[in-house]
Amino acid sequence: MKERVMWGGLVLICMSWVSNYVYFQSKQLEKPIFLEHYYETFVDEGAQLTFYYLTNKKNSEEVSRVVIEGLEGVDVMAEGGEFWGEDETNFIHEYSHHFLKSVTLEFSEEFGWDSKEASFTFENISVYFQDQTHLVEDVGKVTLNRLPENDGVFENRMSSSSNQHRSDSALLANEALTIEEITVPWPDLKEEVEIKITFDQEKLKELDALVAGGNPPYWMDEAASKEWDEVPGTPIDQGVFPLRFDKNDWLHLNMYFHPDRASFFQFPILLKGTTEAGKTFVDSIPIIDSPDLEQTVINKMIAEREGEN
């Protein structure tokens, strides 16, 4: 009887071990997964962009080299991360079965694309890992620009951002002009970025204190603590354009980036229009924002990627 109990226990232990092993294997990635990035930057003085990817914990790969077709002068910088595990694995965040890691690419001002075009766009990169594996990965949408002549139609008097996926900017018009549209570089981000503007000059004249190094008015601090639906301003998709500004008029923008996305942002909000002298312009407000990548977001993203494959 005791022998039967012993063998029964061993069978249960083996079944449990097999079950746990099968479950563990089901959570393993066949290859590292690069996340989605929406990046646009200037490279005339060099630039650095950080790309994020998921690896399995048990075989955490490090990127050693990256090749981008049609682009020269791309270097992998020293591995980046915020935490070190007990096994000295460098990572940004730890999940149940995976690490979120990063690789920072440096784009040299001495090289670039073999073209007279003002910009270079790519979505795929060839990644070589230290264990000799090689992958061609979709990293999202990336645009590198040559530095244009500065139109200088607006002067950015104040910018701020928070870990609540919010940002705001106060701009002063250097000349009389008309804004015809405010956009993000990619149409598919329309649902991910919301922008409200305030152009009531009577109210915004309180911002004149910023010119002399004074403090922002109280309503700017109040807006930062309110829920997005309660933040004052007019959404830019409510037929507000064109907007006419005299010299020294103010424009205040509040921006909200949806936190439940799984993509990283580093690009300019674009202000397009015409000066009173008839010259077209494109001015910009740079923004950087990272998503909230909770375990549920990671699980959903992995399931979607595996479904595509």
For the entire predicted model, the pTM comes to 0.84
How does pLDDT run across 216-247, given as a tens digit for each residue?
777 777 777 788 888 889 999 898 999 999 99
Q: Which residue has the higher pLDDT, 115 or 304?
A: 304
As a whole number, mean pLDDT of residues 38-51 equals: 88
Identify the three-state secondary structure at position 26: helix
The pLDDT value given to residue 8: 62
How does pLDDT run across 182-206, given as a tens digit for each residue?
999 998 898 899 999 998 888 888 8
Of 243, 263, 244, 256, the residue nearest 304 (C-alpha): 263
As a whole number, mean pLDDT of residues 43-67 equals: 87
**Percent of the chain residues topping a pLDDT of 90:** 45
The pLDDT value given to residue 19: 45
The pLDDT value given to residue 35: 95
Report residue 168 as tokens.
Answer: 């705001």
Q: How confident is the model at residue 27 (pLDDT cuts 50, 70, 90)?
A: low
Q: CA–CA separation, 300 vs 307, rounded Å?
A: 10
Quickly list DSSP for 133-149.
Answer: -EEEEEEEEEEEEPPPP
Identify the three-state secondary structure at position 110: coil
Q: Which residue has the higher pLDDT, 90 or 39?
A: 39
Mean pLDDT for the chain overall? 83
Contacts of 178 (CB under 8 A, 6+ apart): 242, 243, 244, 245, 273, 274, 275, 276
